[in-house]
Structure 1
Amino acid sequence: MPQQTLYPRGTLKKIVKAHSNKPLSKNVDILIFLNYTLFLQDLMREASISAKQNRSGTRGGAGITARDVRKVREGVLRKYKG
C-alpha cells in the first residue's frame, strides 16, 4: 500500500508557482507546510492564553472559541508576514 501524504505536493507547488512568478526550490512545499503548521500552533497558543485571561473570573470555561481566535489573529498574522 503506498504511503499517503499529508497534502498534495504537486497541487501546492502549482498554486505557489502561479502566484509567485519565480523559480521554486525542490522542497518549497515542505517549507510552506511547516510554516503553516507553526502558524496554526502559535494561533492556538495565543487564543488559549486569551481564553484563559477572559474567563479568569468564571468557573470552568468552554475552551477556545472563534471569538478568542479572531481576537489574536491579527497579531499572529503580523508575526508571520514576510
Structure 2
Amino acid sequence: MPAQTLYPRATVKKIVKAHANRPLSRNVDILIFLNYALFMQELLKESRIQAKTSGERGISAKSVRKVREGVLRKFKG
C-alpha cells in the first residue's frame, strides 16, 4: 500500500504550472508545501506573541491581522 500524502501532489503541480507559465522541477510541490508550513508556523508564533502582549487569553483574528503583513514580508520570494 502506498504512503498517504498530506496533499494531492498532482493537483498542486497543475495549479502552479497553470500560474507559472514556465517549467517546474520534479519536487516543486514539496518545496511549496514546506514553505507554506513554515509560513503558517511563523504566523502562529507571531500571533501568539501579539496576543500575549495585548493581554488576550488565546490567539484571535485580531492578533493574526496585526502580524500578517510583517510575516508576509518575511516570506516574499
Normalization by structure 2: what TM-score? 0.94
When the two structures are aligned, how many residues end up with a matched partner? 77
Structure 1 residue 73 and structure 2 residue 68: aligned? yes
Q: Which has the higher contact order (CA 8 A, sep 6+)?
A: 1
- Compute the displacement of 1:41 (Å): 0.4
Is there any run of 5+ residues in structure 2 with no aligned partner, and where?
none
- Compute the displacement of 1:4 (Å): 1.6
Normalization by structure 1: what TM-score? 0.89
Q: Deviations over 1:53-75 (max 9, x none)?
A: 110xxxxx431011100110010
Q: Secondary structure at the match of 1:39?
A: helix
Is there any run of 5+ residues in structure 1 with no aligned partner, and where?
56-60
Consecutive aligned runs of 4 or more in structure 1 exceeding 3 Å deviation: none
Aligned counterparts of 1:79 and 1:71: Cα–Cα separation in 2: 15
